[in-house]
Amino acid sequence: MRGAGFAKVSTPSDIPRGSRKPPKRADVTCFSERSRQRLRIKIASVVRGEPPLFCTLTYPAEWIWDTKLWKRHLKIFSQRFLRRWIGAGFIWKLEFQQRGAPHFHPFVWGISDSELREFRQWLSEVWNAVAGNGESNHLLAGTRVEQMRNPGAAIRYVSGYAAKTDQTRPGEKVGRYWGVVGRERIAWGRPEVVSLNQQQSKVVLRTIRRYMRVVNRETRIKRVVKMVGATPSELISWGWFNGRPIHWGKHLRSCGLRMPQKLRLRNLQSVNVFLNVDFWFEKILRLIAMPSQ
């Protein structure tokens, strides 16, 4: 997707695929890994130029376990949002608080800096009218709006905090965990296809996998740095990440901590990767233009 943060590399196969009808969709009882991946792809398909607003819509202390009622509240809120903010849209995510109450997280695009103050006030008043029964306490604490610092922050949130099992209700029929409102108002990346032969696609896949491993290694180092209170250079010099025969995972577990998991990539025919597509597009074109050795 040109201008966005998502790309897919596929290896052509000589084996013909049979046509199969898609399975009938059953009731949603969990936030599956496939659904989470589709949400990541959807967020990464938005143009990278404008980081979204991260909003929170919570319920008051007295709330009802009624999944249809929650989705009705979301629908009413969405209708009012579309009428008021003509050039804006959002992707919403359903989560659950520790007390069991549901709350929604809309990732909003299309609100300018000059409209931010008005949008905060509007959000508080409208959500309180929809789900807070007009309570004054809920008017002040029922909503929150944060400006994300970069386009990748939303994807990291979905991959990290929102992926925790205590944010979902496995086995409960709560309906869809995410969706899009005002799809035509969100600036999506432009789909562009580059045809590769089998040898070129293998080279690109190998390069992409190496890039993903490097990014994963940097992420693991940053997480361990926060856990042990050291600098990245100190961790590397101590042998945490350079293959020395020291089992730091056991050391962390003995302290009640946990080593961040390594990225294990299977040799599949296609790979979904989150990156700056415009930057990598030119790199990939030069890579496949190089003569094979």
Residues 41 and 144 placed together within one structural domain of the fold: yes
Q: Which amino acid is at 201?
A: S
Residues 158 and 114 placed together within one structural domain of the fold: yes
The yes-or-no verdict on residue 4 having pLDDT over 60 is: yes
Q: Could you tell me what percent of the chain has a pLDDT over 90?
A: 31
Print the domain residue range for 73.
Answer: 29-185
> What is the residue whose two structure tokens read 């659950």?
96
Strands 270-274 and 102-109 turn out to be: unpaired
Beta-bridge partner residues of 8: 272
The yes-or-no verdict on residue 18 having pLDDT over 60 is: no
The yes-or-no verdict on residue 90 having pLDDT over 60 is: yes
What CATH number is associated with residue 34? 3.30.70
User: pLDDT digit string (tens) for 115-155?
Assistant: 999 999 999 999 999 987 766 666 777 899 999 888 778 88
Residues 156 and 212 placed together within one structural domain of the fold: no
In a domain, 84, yes or no: yes
Residue 184's contacts (CB-CB under 8 Å, 6 or more residues apart) are 89
The yes-or-no verdict on residue 187 having pLDDT over 80 is: yes
Residues 226 and 127 placed together within one structural domain of the fold: no
> What is the residue whose two structure tokens read 């700056």?
276
Residues 116 and 154 placed together within one structural domain of the fold: yes
User: Higher pLDDT residue, 206 or 46?
Assistant: 46
Strands 89-96 and 270-274 turn out to be: unpaired
Predicted local distance difference test score (pLDDT) of residue 204: 84
Residues 242 and 181 placed together within one structural domain of the fold: no
Q: With helix as H, strand as E and coil as C, how does 136-149 read? A: HHHHHHCEEEEECC
Output the CA angle 99-100-102, nearest 5 degrees.
Answer: 120
CA distance 110 to 51: 10
CA distance 89 to 75: 13
What is the helix (H) or strand (E) element at residue 284, kind and residue range?
helix 277-289
Residue 12's contacts (CB-CB under 8 Å, 6 or more residues apart) are 196, 197, 198, 201
Average pLDDT of the chain is 81
Residue 8's contacts (CB-CB under 8 Å, 6 or more residues apart) are 270, 271, 272, 273
User: Structure pTM?
Assistant: 0.80
CB 250 within 8 A of CB 167: no
In a domain, 192, yes or no: no
User: Torsion angle of alpha carbons 271, 272, 273, 276, nearest 10°?
Assistant: 120
Residues 161 and 73 placed together within one structural domain of the fold: yes
In a domain, 191, yes or no: no
CA end-to-end span of the chain? 30
In a domain, 19, yes or no: no
CB 47 within 8 A of CB 239: no
- CA 275 to the chain's CA centroid: 13
Among 76-85, 170-179, 228-237, 277-286, the range scoring the smallest mean pLDDT is 228-237
User: Higher pLDDT residue, 212 or 164?
Assistant: 212
Predicted local distance difference test score (pLDDT) of residue 171: 72
Residues 220 and 123 placed together within one structural domain of the fold: no
What total of structural domains would you count in the chain? 2
Q: Is 215 helix (H, G, I), strand (E, B) or coil?
A: helix
Predicted local distance difference test score (pLDDT) of residue 245: 47
Residues 181 and 59 placed together within one structural domain of the fold: yes
Return the closest-CA partner of residue 91 out of 128, 35, 39: 39
Residues 280 and 210 placed together within one structural domain of the fold: yes
